[in-house]
Chain A
Amino acid sequence: MAKIEETKIDAKIPAGPLAEKWNYYKSHQKLVNPANKRRLDVIVVGTGLAGASAAASLAELGFNVLNFCIQDSPRRAHSIAAQGGINAAKNYQNDGDSVYRLFYDTIKGGDYRAREANVHRLAEVSGNIIDQCVAQGVPFAREYGGLLDNRSFGGAQVSRTFYAKGQTGQQLLLGAYSALSRQIGQGKVKLYARYEMLDVVIIDGRARGIIARNLVTGKVERFFAHAVVIGTGGYGNTFFLSTNAMGSNGSAAVQIYKKGAYFSNPAYAQIHPTCIPVHGEYQSKLTLMSESLRNDGRIWVPKKKEDAEAIRAGKLKPTDLKEEDRDYYLERRYPAFGNLVPRDVASRAAKERCDAGFGVGNTGLAVYLDFSSAIERLGEDTIRARYGNLFQMYEKIVDDNPYKTPMMIYPAIHYTMGGIWVDYELQTSIKGLFCIGEANFSDHGANRLGASALMQGLADGYFVLPYTIQNYLSDQIQVPRMSTDLPEFDEAEKAVKDKIERIMKVQGDHSVDSIHRELGLVMWDFVGMGRNKAGLEIALEKIKQIREEFWTKVYVPGTTDGVNVELEKALRVADFIEIGELMARDALMREESCGGHFREEYQTPDGEALRNDEEFSFASCWKYNGEGQEPTLLKEALDYEFIQRQQRNYKA
């Protein structure tokens, strides 16, 4: 078993009452004066909601920002694909919302595994995000009276989700992108598109720059900064098939983990209940159908096994099934929240039904999401106005009309709550190295509520990091810009080049994708929705074999000069293997079920997740010990001062 170190991890949470902490922090933190800001450089890696908003906001304050992204434009970051909406405690609907309630829902949704102070701060700034985005010209949906409209999302009993059709992520990202573009135009941000970070450079214990590869020329380059911010998103693609973009990866996280940043709660991965089911071997990714669909759609499977079998065999159509032969299992099991239970609960319930033999689709791994009663109640036009683009997307992929036949959905990996450990200031365990957005572990605990990822990414980038980073940079004003010829840069660059060369030299006969696919299957089977001790031990063994296979059999064609997509993928897969192992290790260590982490051994009699607050009320922090060495487990105790922990209950 893993080495456990009983070091006390200090999250630097300000003292005082919960609601006063952030204000207190802001009033007492150190700041950098405008003249000094000009002399400080900050590297921001990633241009998603967190990265772009941070880069723009820091540049507006006067820092010099270097911003990196792997795509051809900052606007491509995968935040763009978020569909449903963004939460904010505005209480515009007068339905009883408040900062406290958003805070409470988020903590509860995360199954009491998040840090109270961080979540409260998130709820506090949530309203500012909406104001900021409106000011940028984000075209949020509005009522006829001209005011902002809201919809409901899972895990909440109020309507606090702001949205722009089914393209909220796109509109918010384009807002942040426009703010970033303005700073690029003014020369305050230098953009490096089609660049991939390959390592962080540490000088005297502080992050002082990065090594990045120009994906067009293939050249490995060095960049200095006084502080480095990582906003590179989650590691869901470890599973090969996920709702993440093809390029989404966890490599930056692995690089900084290997340089000493703690990796926290890697096992907490979110399985999203409403995705289009897997349909073929050639499949490259899974497509999400927004959670907002659960506002009006009802989820069901046949009540009788023989009906399910007939449907699978293509002998029966779902529309032929009478109302009394359908099992609306979410409404049955969770009368209070019904179809709007949190994602982890909905996903597990779908898996339970399919495992029990009630699944539909030709694989039996699908359930129905039915709009017929909503269409009857509201009319097809209303449904079209609300979800038209999602229905169209579904029809293109599945070639079936969801207005007529119920959609088929199945859970898929969507988001990773775990990530790089950060303190209250979003600083990692390496000084001067910050981590924001999905890449960090901070706010969602063991499960994220719908429409909260956009909120967290933008909160970190617009309203948290621009403050907290100054507390660090204020004592860096005397530090001159360093040369990238320093030995630390030499060393880091050499390590990167060696790694690339090592991969190129293997010249085996397995394509990168084939190995990645193999890893994904192991992850899905053993580290997916339902985990158990034996399975996780198998996973660890298999991942070890896959690592061996990768380093002896991978084949990367071409050269290191110029564009080499296979090389890019190979570098990422090498890191996914590391993350996969860490996920399995963390899942094995956590002998309880909480949120997205479900250990089959630990469940209530009616199949709900059973937490063990006595022993596992901590955030696991994994410390790297070198290649081939087991990492050390450190624990950040989660002391709940303000909320009474309860068994999550969405039934009544």
Chain B
Amino acid sequence: MEKTINVTLKVWRQAGPKAKGAFELYKLDNVSTDSSFLEMLDVLNEKLIKERKEPIVFDHDCREGICGMCSLYINGHPHGKDGETTTCQLHMRRFSDGETIVVEPWRSAAFPVIKDLMVDRSAYDKIIQAGGYVSVNTGGVPDGNAIPISKIKADEAMDAASCIGCGACAAACKNGSAMLFLAAKVSQLALLPQGRVEASARAKAMVAKMDELGFGNCTNTGACEAECPKAISISHIARLNREFLCAKFQD
């Protein structure tokens, strides 16, 4: 009942942040098409360990598409070519027998490689630390139903909030821009009355941090939206632009 395929993997190996990396070829036979891409890599790693070689390092954790830890640029696409899918949810049935699969790390100046396919995405955390929050301390807040929020706005905020911070947007962007990531947070909070209070300050602080960290400028190619595993719309980028420009013109 189970179907299997044989694949060749061309994987980026890099010993450390400063080391020079290169592609290595691995042949892997009898891969179950029901296994996920990461399970396929597990099998490959198991094989490498048996051969007393160092396994391939890659980031992963929840393996159900929500933690945002997995990355990988597979055959020219972040998280592979399927839409709305993280690498951990990508299954081998999407590949054909005999296929050569090229696996690369996220490549962006702001995401330096740590080892092999593992990159440092702490820049995204720094952007959130610059203002991706509502400044309320624990306790002393009003009742949850004190401020009614239109369902439409709450739903749109939820769509923006579903960002998993995986970095695919910046990895896919030819400009290395983190605008979709940033916009998702600014937009989510700008849509809700709780976040409205400091919306201007937030937009300014987060954009300034993004620029400081060396991300590129958005040119609206839409690659981020197309590759986003949560299909976050670039309309949020428009809202960010609006928030930012209004804030700056008010200054």
Contacts and interface: CB of A to CB of B under 8 A. Distances in A.
Interface stretch (B30-38, B95-103, B220-228): B30-38
A522 interface: no
B171 to A, nearest CB: 14
Nearest to A557: B54
A356 interface: no
A187 B165 CA distance: 22
Interface in A41-64: 53, 56-57, 60
Interface stretch (A134-142, A495-503, A621-629): A134-142
A54 to B, nearest CB: 10
A139 B148 contact: no
B93 interface: yes
B213 to A, nearest CB: 14
B125 A193 contact: yes
A451 to B, nearest CB: 16
A285 B194 contact: no
A78 B145 contact: no
B153 to A, nearest CB: 9
B65 interface: yes
Contacts of B155: 139
Contact of A145 (B36, B54, B132, B148): B148
B122 A193 contact: yes
A147 B138 contact: no
Contact of B125 (A56, A73, A80, A139): A73
B188 interface: yes
A137 B192 contact: yes
A315 B113 CA distance: 51
Nearest to B163: A174
Given A130-B144, A284-B63, A135 B125 contact: no
A147 B151 CA distance: 8
Given A73-B124, A131-B144, A57 B138 contact: yes
B39 A284 contact: yes
Contact of A132 (B46, B57, B138, B149): B138
Contact of A279 (B34, B61, B130, B149): B34
Interface residues of A, number: 86
Contacts of B32: 280, 282
Chain B interface, >50% SS class: loop
Interface string B12-33: 0001100000000000000010
Nearest to B120: A72
24 contacts: A73-B122, A73-B125, A76-B67, A80-B67, A90-B145, A130-B144, A132-B136, A137-B133, A146-B150, A147-B145, A178-B133, A178-B134, A193-B125, A280-B34, A282-B40, A396-B65, A397-B89, A399-B93, A511-B49, A557-B49, A557-B54, A562-B16, A563-B114, A563-B115
Interface of A: 53, 56-57, 60, 71-78, 80-81, 90, 92, 127-128, 130-148, 162, 164-165, 167, 169-171, 174, 177-179, 181-182, 184-185, 191, 193, 216, 245-247, 279-280, 282-285, 287-288, 314, 362, 392-393, 396-397, 399, 462-463, 466, 511, 513-514, 555, 557-558, 562-563, 565-566
Interface of B: 1-2, 15-16, 32, 34-36, 38-40, 42-43, 46, 49-50, 52-55, 57, 59-69, 84-85, 89, 91, 93, 114-115, 118, 120-122, 124-125, 128-139, 141-145, 147-151, 154-155, 157-158, 161-162, 164-165, 188-189, 192, 194-195
